Amino acid sequence: MVWFAARNASVLGRLRGAELPFFILLLLIKLALFDHAIHVRNMRMGPDDVIVAAGTLGLLSFWTLWLSQRARILALIILHLLLTCILYADLIYFRYFQDLISIPVLMQAGQIGALGESIGSLLQARDIWLFADWPLLITLGIWLLLGRQSSRGILVQTPQPLLHKALLRVSLSLIVFALSLALVFVPIQIAKRTWAQGLFVGIWWNVSLYNVTGLFGFHGYDAYQYVKQELSKSELPENQLAETSQWLKEHRLRTAASMDDALFGAYKEHNVIMVQAEAIQSFMIGRTYNGQTITPFLNELTQASAYFPDFYHQTAQGRTSDADFAAQCSMQPLPTGSVFIRYAQQDYSCLPGVLRDNGFSTSVYHAYDGGFWNRNVMYHTMGYDTYYNRNDFLVDEPLGWSVGDRSFFRQSVQKMTAQRQPFYSFLITLSSHHPYSLPASYKTLDLGALNGTMFGDYLQSVHYVDQAFRSFTDELKTAGLWENSIVVFYGDHDNSIRDWSPFETFLGHSLSELQRERIQRQVPLLIHLPDGSLAGTYPGGGQLDLAPTLLHLLGIRTEETFMLGAPLLTAQPLPERTVVFRNGAFATADRYFIPAGDGVVEHGTCYSLPDGKTIDATACGEAAVQARAQLTHSDRIITHNLFPRLRER
């Protein structure tokens, strides 16, 4: 230990004054590794990004120059460890959500405990490189913390007057602060005036901000915005309210179905039973692998229902809660965090509340903790009469997070039979949740090379849910509910598996970038009508379209609901619909647009459908601008609680 202390004192003595540059250099290397790992389109860490990142690190650490050398090195070590943890947390979060952690997400941190197994599956062996310097830094920190002050080397006390040393340190720190501020401010201002115009006004994707500010700069700006919003909560200015009101009127003209439509009210006063299925995606429907059918019952049901193979989920950071909000309230999720957490006590016009106002009894079923995603509060706000959570279910089939879906469905039907009709029942499944680890006795498929992989486990869990849903429909028929109910089944979001090799093994061919994008976005939608009519295959649609579709079939007017979706089933065809995603991407019947990480429309990629060919981005330009407008106005309505004011207008 004496040798180690002497050697380190000698080395650090020669590096006197280089502690801060060394700190910045180490973290720049880690930021470069992070940027390579997330691999976002049109985003690579270039010279400007390095300059901004170095400036940000200088702003985070300039104050350490006020300290003595011993204290400064200790402070930089602690700061380095902390920033590495933040960086790694962002990397893990990005692997699951394709986004960065924000302050609103941290408000949901209480849910992380329930995601432990999922988080564990996102760790990778190569991540160790981000922590390769920790043993040396921690050892050095302990030595500096516990070791005695030496009379030699880095801890030599110079005879300079105390005031002189203090002035020198403060002056040097101010120089570093000013230089760091310039390194951050100048490139960002240039970007804001050129290719990143409007990016800081309409935030549609956190990663676009990251592309300008860098990782730690993004977190600083996110914290600033959050505090600013919390401290300056006020009514939206009248001119912006008028702008949003006018946009909604024009949007309704483009998307509303006529009340003279033959299907308006065709199923008036029928029950509605909607199932939101955890992580069920479209690419498995109708597929076999190793001679076995993955979803035999759903395959059958597509023949007797209105089936939408090109239906898209529209979720963001809120995942399951976003799917719930989009489907029930026909509004876009937030760019950061979940509406369920951040704005659970606002005024909304959601499907359960609208149906309750029209004489339906309303209930929601989810066999997990009532407080998860703040559901206890949000479901009251949305207009449910009753919320059945884990406390209301007998765990007679322990599986995954809670009771297995087969038992969950059976017990839910028992509760439905006691409901006053007509009723609306919304059920959220759980058994096919990431990381898809079912007991061996539930794995009934022989998947060959895919056995034992997460993708194989995913297929096993989907197969189980498929069979559980078959038993659910049998229970509904036995209870006399099948023939007088509209039954809806849709997936909530993708499966969060980012390794594409098993997808290609399963599908039997390689996948283009567009095919991968659409596979991630597409979830199945089946709408079974009581008389079996309208069975067939239908194009397009997204989760925002579900509530308007059901209200149209039930004959309930939607003028004052301000829903952003459009009915999917109408006798008279509607104008072409655009499905807008939270990051500014969109899909139409003949176009698919993927935005660039820098947010510039012209840098995005426009595809023609169904051939998947790349075409000039200007072919998607106008629709991309309209997509961003939808995101902007949806955010205004939610964050400023505009429903009451819009109704007054």
* pLDDT for position 150: 47
- The continuous run of DSSP H or E covering 586 comes out as strand 586-587
The answer to whether position 587 is within a domain reads no
Domain boundary at 193, 216, 231, which?
231
Q: Pairing state of beta strands 288-289 and 292-293?
A: antiparallel
* pLDDT for position 341: 80
Least confident of 24-33, 372-381, 410-419, 622-631: 372-381
Domain boundary at 541, 569, 597, which?
569
Residues 542, 298, 394, CA angle at the centre, nearest 5°? 95
Alpha helices, DSSP H, located in 315-418: 320-329, 339-342, 351-357, 375-382, 405-416
Beta carbons within 10 angstroms of residue 543's beta carbon: 30
Least confident of 168-172, 366-370, 537-541: 168-172
Q: Which two tokens stand for residue 174?
A: 């101010």
State whether residue 243 is helix, strand or coil: helix
**Cβ atoms of residues 578 and 360 within 8 Å:** no
Beta carbons within 10 angstroms of residue 85's beta carbon: 12
Same domain flag for 434 and 467: yes
* pLDDT for position 171: 86
Q: Is the peptide bond before 422 cis (omega within 30 degrees of 0)?
A: yes
Same domain flag for 160 and 294: no
**Is residue 324 packed enough to be buried (19+ CB in 10 Å), middle (13-18) or exposed (0-12)?**
buried
Domain boundary at 569, 602, 623, which?
569
Task: Give the chain's end-to-end CA distance (angstroms, integer).
Answer: 77
Least confident of 444-448, 522-526, 556-560: 556-560
Pick from 385, 378, 360: nearest CA to 322: 378
Using alpha carbons only, how large is the chain's radius of gyration in Å? 28
* pLDDT for position 144: 82
pLDDT at 419 over 80: yes
When pLDDT is cut at 50, 70 and 90, the band that residue 459 belongs to is very high
* pLDDT for position 107: 66
The answer to whether position 456 is within a domain reads yes
Same domain flag for 472 and 565: yes
The answer to whether position 248 is within a domain reads no
* Residue range 519-546: mean pLDDT, rounded: 95
- CA atoms lying within 13 Å on the CB side of residue 609: 16
When pLDDT is cut at 50, 70 and 90, the band that residue 43 belongs to is low
Q: Which two tokens stand for residue 527?
A: 């709408």
Contacts of 397 (CB under 8 A, 6+ apart): 403, 404, 406, 407
Q: Quote the percentage of the chain above a pLDDT of 90.
A: 63
> Which of the listed ranges 124-128, 230-234, 580-584 does the model predict with the highest average pLDDT?
580-584
CATH number of domain containing 546: 3.40.720.10
Same domain flag for 212 and 330: no
Same domain flag for 77 and 213: yes
pLDDT at 3 over 50: no
Contacts of 87 (CB under 8 A, 6+ apart): 30, 31, 34, 130, 215
The answer to whether position 576 is within a domain reads no
Give me the domain span that covers residue 82.
Answer: 2-231
Alpha helices, DSSP H, located in 479-586: 501-507, 513-521, 546-554
When pLDDT is cut at 50, 70 and 90, the band that residue 106 belongs to is confident
* pLDDT for position 151: 39
Q: Quote the percentage of the chain above a pLDDT of 70.
A: 90
d(C-alpha 254, C-alpha 250), whole Å: 6
**Residue, of 194 and 149, whose pLDDT is higher:** 194
Residues 564, 325, 492, CA angle at the centre, nearest 5°? 105
**Cβ atoms of residues 340 and 327 within 8 Å:** no
Same domain flag for 268 and 222: no
* pLDDT for position 305: 98
When pLDDT is cut at 50, 70 and 90, the band that residue 574 belongs to is confident
d(C-alpha 90, C-alpha 207), whole Å: 11
Strands (E), 338-441: 361-365, 386-388, 398-399, 402-403, 423-428
Domain count, the chain: 2
Same domain flag for 11 and 65: yes
DSSP states along 115-150: GHHHHHHT--GGGGGGGTTHHHHHHHHHHHHHSPPP
The answer to whether position 46 is within a domain reads yes
> Which of the listed ranges 128-132, 181-185, 420-424 does the model predict with the highest average pLDDT?
420-424
pLDDT at 318 over 50: yes
* Residue range 414-421: mean pLDDT, rounded: 96
Same domain flag for 352 and 499: yes
* Residue range 6-17: mean pLDDT, rounded: 54
Q: Which two tokens stand for residue 23?
A: 């700190």
State the amino acid at position 130 in one-letter form.
L
Query: Tens of pLDDT along 408-417?
Result: 999 999 999 9
Beta carbons within 10 angstroms of residue 427's beta carbon: 23
d(C-alpha 137, C-alpha 244), whole Å: 54
* pLDDT for position 205: 60
